[in-house]
Amino acid sequence: MDDLLVRVLTRLLRVGDELGERAFEDAAHRSLVAIARSVQIEAARKAGVDDPGLGDGVLPFPTVPSRKSQDAAS
């Protein structure tokens, strides 16, 4: 567990160094939300709720639209 905590903190600090204060704060806040969501899922699991999952909590990874779809929109 200690190793994982160090990895998370190191990653957050690296985000701050490489992408700036705003990116660091965004990543830190999102990390706290992810921790809270994980706690909710575990609490639901222990309460016997069927299939406690992330549901709408999963966000798709943003991708750049392909040139082909951009040309079609024009």
In the chain, where the domains are located? 1-50
Closest CA to 32 of 51, 55, 8, 6: 8
Whether residue 66 has pLDDT greater than 70: no
Eight-state DSSP code of residue 58: P
The pTM assigned to this predicted structure is 0.62
Q: What is the pLDDT of residues 25-34, one digit of tens each?
A: 999 999 998 8
**Gap between the Cα atoms of 43 and 36, Å rounded:** 11
**Gap between the Cα atoms of 5 and 49, Å rounded:** 29
